[in-house]
């Protein structure tokens, strides 16, 4: 592997001089198998890879992430899909390997946000996984290796220009990391925290029954939130992220955003959505957009006119009451926050999106009020004492 490599351009095309290299010298642990990456491609790849690597090492399952603008739109480990969920993710026509299942879940968390994503995979990419990536709109992929047929499939994307990265699976970064901001170098120890059994030990709520599945989902949410731009809150269920509230200045806005995405994720599984009859010409990405408009409470006449043209038969819209009734079936959701909750309004909002398990740093002057709110809703709450800001 080379000691350095050039990038297509920096964060924006006008930043024409760009390269990546090892500050301490030596060979790069990253090999470009295809395409010419940009600065943002590298930023997404080098945040997404440790996420899936840590999920895989912690839970011993194949893991995948769908990254957009240095935050995960979705992340997941391989948990089998129901027929209904496979249909909701548009993969019911494919044979899925465990790794392909993980990526289907990661991309299915928020298909609207995952359009043009960066893909990260914990295992050697097999043909079933490559087939999903091949037919979706994405900007590149990073993995520890590729089966020859899978690599050939991926090299055919974007007219042969699809960026494909191979990273050495045993590469360990240096203990210190640094970056230059406005000509000044900042240095810190790398955040090598991994959630272990002690992380879940400080239960502060009356409820204390933490099942293996809930612990798995809290682990997924926590490792995902670790690599999400702060402030951030992540919701997970069945081994996958279902909602992410990233980069918000207010903690409650993180919760509202994550919960609204989780609500949309669950509403997309409603029978009326799954039974939509689209025109044959309508592609998957356009179907995602049409479903998003369908689930909006309000849409302009122009939006509705364009929306109706997607269907062979215009579906009856879900009323607010029907949506709420369906959402009441969403239960057992795990929530991880990258810092403490300052007010109970976060818990009040989370309760409406099926959250039953919460891990937060704790340490707020209002911890008692937040714990009291968790008890009112029958939630299990863990105060971990660990903050996970990521910038």
Q: Is 168 exposed, middle or buried (0-12, 13-18, 19+ CB in 10 A)?
A: middle
Give backbone dihedrals phi and psi of 377, rounded to 5 degrees, phi first: -95, 5
Q: Which one from 41, 68, 346, 390 is the annotated catalytic residue?
A: 68
The token duo for 380 is: 């299990």
Is 134 considered catalytic here? no
Is 231 considered catalytic here? yes
Radius of gyration of the chain (CA): 21
> Using an 8 Å Cβ cutoff, are 39 and 9 in contact?
yes
Q: Is 17 exposed, middle or buried (0-12, 13-18, 19+ CB in 10 A)?
A: exposed
**Cα distance between residue 165 and residue 9, in whole Å:** 17
Is 68 considered catalytic here? yes
Give backbone dihedrals phi and psi of 296, rounded to 5 degrees, phi first: -70, 145
* Buried-exposed string 377-388: b where 16+ CB fall within 10 A, e elsewhere: bebbbbbbebbb
Q: Are strands 117-121 and 138-143 parallel, antiparallel or unpaired?
A: parallel
Q: Which one from 47, 56, 231, 264 is the annotated catalytic residue?
A: 231
How many CA atoms does the CB half-sphere of 229 hold within 13 Å? 12
> Using an 8 Å Cβ cutoff, are 238 and 82 in contact?
no
**Cα distance between residue 383 and residue 155, in whole Å:** 46
> Using an 8 Å Cβ cutoff, are 15 and 133 in contact?
no
Is 202 considered catalytic here? no
**Residue 338 Cα distances to 91, 235, 335, 384, 390, angstroms:** 32, 12, 10, 10, 8
Closest by Cα among 158, 174, 48, 168 to 103: 48
Q: Which one from 69, 134, 158, 253 is the annotated catalytic residue?
A: 69
Report which DSSP code applies to 278: B
Residues annotated as catalytic (active site), given as ranges:
68-69, 231, 391
């Amino acid at each position: 592997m080379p000691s350095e490599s050039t990038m297509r351009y920096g964060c924006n095309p006008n930043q024409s001089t760009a390269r990546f290299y090892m500050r301490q010298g030596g060979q790069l642990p990253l090999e470009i198998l295809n395409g010419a990456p940009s600065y943002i491609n590298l930023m997404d790849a080098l945040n997404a890879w440790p996420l899936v690597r840590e999920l895989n090492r912690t839970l011993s399952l194949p893991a995948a992430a769908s990254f957009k603008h240095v935050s995960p739109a979705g992340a997941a480990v391989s948990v089998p899909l129901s027929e209904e969920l496979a249909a909701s993710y548009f993969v019911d026509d494919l044979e899925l390997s465990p790794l392909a299942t993980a990526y289907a879940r990661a991309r299915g968390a928020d298909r609207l946000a995952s359009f043009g994503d960066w893909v990260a995979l914990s295992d050697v990419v097999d043909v079933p996984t490559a087939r999903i990536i091949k037919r979706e709109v994405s900007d590149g992929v990073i993995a520890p290796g590729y089966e020859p047929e899978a690599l050939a499939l991926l090299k055919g994307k974007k007219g042969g220009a699809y960026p494909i990265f191979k990273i050495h699976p045993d590469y360990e970064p240096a203990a210190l990391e640094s970056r230059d901001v406005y000509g000044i170098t900042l240095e810190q120890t790398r955040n090598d925290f991994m959630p272990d059994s002690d992380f879940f030990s400080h239960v502060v709520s009356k409820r204390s029954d933490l099942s293996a599945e809930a612990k798995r989902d809290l682990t997924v949410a926590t490792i995902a939130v670790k690599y999400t731009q702060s402030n951030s809150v992540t919701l997970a269920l069945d081994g996958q992220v279902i909602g992410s509230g990233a980069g918000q200045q207010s903690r409650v806005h993180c919760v509202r955003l994550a919960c609204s995405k989780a609500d949309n994720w669950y509403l997309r599984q409603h029978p009326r959505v799954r039974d939509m009859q689209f025109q044959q010409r309508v592609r998957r990405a356009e179907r995602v957009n049409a479903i998003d408009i369908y689930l909006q409470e309000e849409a302009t006449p122009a939006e509705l006119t364009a929306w109706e043209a997607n269907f062979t038969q215009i579906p009856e819209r879900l009323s607010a009451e029907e949506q709420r009734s369906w959402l009441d079936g969403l239960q057992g959701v795990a929530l991880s926050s990258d810092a403490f909750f300052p007010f109970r309004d976060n818990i009040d909002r989370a309760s409406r999106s099926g959250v039953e398990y919460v891990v937060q740093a704790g340490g707020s002057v209002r911890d008692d009020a937040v714990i009291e709110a968790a008890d009112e809703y029958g939630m299990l709450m863990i105060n971990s004492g660990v903050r996970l800001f990521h910038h």
